Structure 1
Amino acid sequence: MEFIDDSKLVDSYVMGNESALAELIDRHKNKVYGFIFSKVLDKSIAEDIFQDTFVKVILTLKEGKYSEEGKFLPWVMRIAHNLSIDYFRNKTRMPIIGETFVDEDFSIFDFLADPEDCSETKIIKLQIEEELRLIIQYLPDDQREVLQLRIFKGLSFKEIAEETDVSINTALGRMRYALINLRKVIEEKNITLTLV
């Protein structure tokens, strides 16, 4: 079988060939996951960061913002490195939460998932979680389902794919569209997730 280099697979994926992304993930998953695990030393956290890395990869590719021609793996590793740093950063400080919560640098979902909370933080999280539950009602059923399974049940994308009987690529795609549509809903309705 002919070897297709990363840049051609990236172009193919951007043009709509979903299997090209599967090939890229399969090609680099061991190296990327190994790198993340070496930073966080926790299997489940490493799996989540790995999945979040490829969600960010998908978003960037689909939005046409990828410009690392011929440097796909180093670019992915940089994303994985930044998300690993964000994991440790989010554990040590409470984030500012505003209308840009579905942001490149900060995810409200990471904040909601942290189990080490004082009672005040738990109250804040419950309030934000309730606001999120209301907002996601505006999403199409398939996108809402993936978002609920990921945020509120804490399932990995592999588990979501099994639960909803779709491929991991489809689950990732639905999550991507859910985040895009969530951002639109927040902007259209001028919603702010607040701490008070």
Structure 2
Amino acid sequence: MESTIKSDGLLVSSYIQGNEKSLEILIVRHKQRIFSFILSKIQDREISEDIFQDTFIKVINTLKRGKYNEEGKFLPWVMRIAHNLIIDHFRRNKRIPKFNNTDDFDIFDVLSDDTLSAENQIIKSQILEDVRSLIEELPDDQKEVLLMRMYKDMSFKEIAENTAVSINTALGRMRYALINLRKLIEKHHIVLVN
């Protein structure tokens, strides 16, 4: 009972200090979410189980070597490890996945990140491609404002002048473009992975 209320951080510390049971609690706590994420990308239960096991082998090795420094962010850290192993799997099989989303994702953070690893570069180009195709589905007035703002780095004042509308109208179109983009991402089940 007591173990269910311990935070991930406390369990990680406890495991590092030699309590093997703490890792078991962490695995049980997050297994469903991590395994579902892997399976959604791999689409093969057996390979997904292998990647899930490899993920936790990597987690254990990192913890045992004292290299863990993601204080309070255990689950996102494990998800990144799983994600990198999925990329490795596709690389080995010469098949780049159509990568898409996790929670709390901001497309424009990824688009503006200049310091991307090789894995993230692959994902970024896929995300750009996916987002570009979704933008094409937006109504023309929203698409125009979104492209001017995000890809041409124009101010709302410049957008308003170029489209012969008020700044408030330009802002409104941008707002609706983002709302509709979010709906399209959900409709097409696109998962944008950072």
Q: Bigger radius of gyration, 1 or 2?
A: 2
TM-score normalised by L of structure 2: 0.47
